[in-house]
Amino acid sequence: NAGVTQTPKFRILKIGQSMTLQCTQDMNHNYMYWYRQDPGMGLKLIYYSVGAGITDKGEVPNGYNVSRSTTEDFPLRLELAAPSQTSVYFCASSPYAGTYEQYFGPGTRLTVT
Amino acid sequence: AQRVTQPEKLLSVFKGAPVELKCNYSYSGSPELFWYVQYSRQRLQLLLRHISRESIKGFTADLNKGETSFHLKKPFAQEEDSAMYYCALSNKDSNYQLIWGAGTKLIIKP
């Protein structure tokens, strides 16, 4: 099992550009998450999904969009990138919420200049 | 508002010394609490959760509802314990999504 994979590992965007961060899991998990982590801070939840076709906002959803057309994939779309979106982005999955372990991808380091 | 506080950004101890990484939370109900760890060049991974009451790699953590704390402890630190440690909280009011502390970097000196 590859677990949770994320692409790309690194990306530099210019202000106003758009991009999609890819996330795939092969564990048949219902729940998937997107977090961002700014330097010296904890992870902040951007969006999450409880299953294919169902997504919901987390703590910091502005400037992002997601979709969940399959159980495996949960892409994160950045429209009109801004310097405030410079961060490390983590995708995670879990079978259910609550006490269940979340399994993380390796992260994507994004810089917007 | 729910919050998780890890007061130490950096903790440095000698090998063989006891380790305590502090975690305090603000939530009035019954929380689910977790410690996650990220070793150098590895992914973030679960270390332990309070509901399991387990010891992993010699680490334990006890939920103290009176002090709203969930400190992580190990009696004898090893060099391989050097890592970033994150405390996280989940509960019904957060739709069981995790609320994270800022993390503590633990350095074990030889």
| CATH number of the structural domain spanning residue A98 | 2.60.40.10
Could you tell me if residue B110 is inside a domain? Answer: no
Which one of A43, A56, A99 has the shortest CB-CB distance to B32?
A99
C-alpha–C-alpha distance, residues A12 and B71, integer Å: 38
Q: Give the residue-averaged pLDDT of B97-106.
A: 94
Assess A39–B contact: CB distance below 8 Å, yes or no.
no
**B81 three-class SS:** helix
Are the beta carbons of B45 and A44 separated by less than 8 Å?
no
C-alpha–C-alpha distance, residues A68 and A92, integer Å: 14
The top-scoring range by mean pLDDT among A38-47, A83-92, B54-63 is A83-92
Query: What are the pLDDT digits (tens) for B39-49?
Result: 999 999 999 99
Domain count for chain A: 1
Which one of B97, B99, B103 has the shortest CB-CB distance to A97?
B97
Q: Looking at the complex, report in whole angstroms how far the Cα of residue A40 sits from the nearest Cα belonging to chain B.
A: 6
Quote the domain boundaries for residue A102: 4-112
Using pLDDT thresholds of 50, 70 and 90, give the confidence band for residue A62: very high
Could you tell me if residue B21 is inside a domain? Answer: yes
Chain A interface disruption, residue of B32, B48, B50, B95, most A CBs within 10 A: B95
Chain A, 60 to 89: residues with Cβ < 8 Å from chain B are none
Burial class (CB in 10 A: 0-12, 13-18, 19+), B110: exposed
Could you tell me if residue B72 is inside a domain? Answer: yes
Q: Give the residue-averaged pLDDT of A30-46.
A: 94
Q: Give the residue-averaged pLDDT of B18-45.
A: 94
Q: What is the pLDDT of residue A1?
A: 73
Domain count for chain B: 1
C-alpha–C-alpha distance, residues B78 and B108, integer Å: 7
| B contacts of A107 (beta carbons < 8 Å) | 43
| B contacts of A48 (beta carbons < 8 Å) | 97
Quote the domain boundaries for residue B46: 3-105
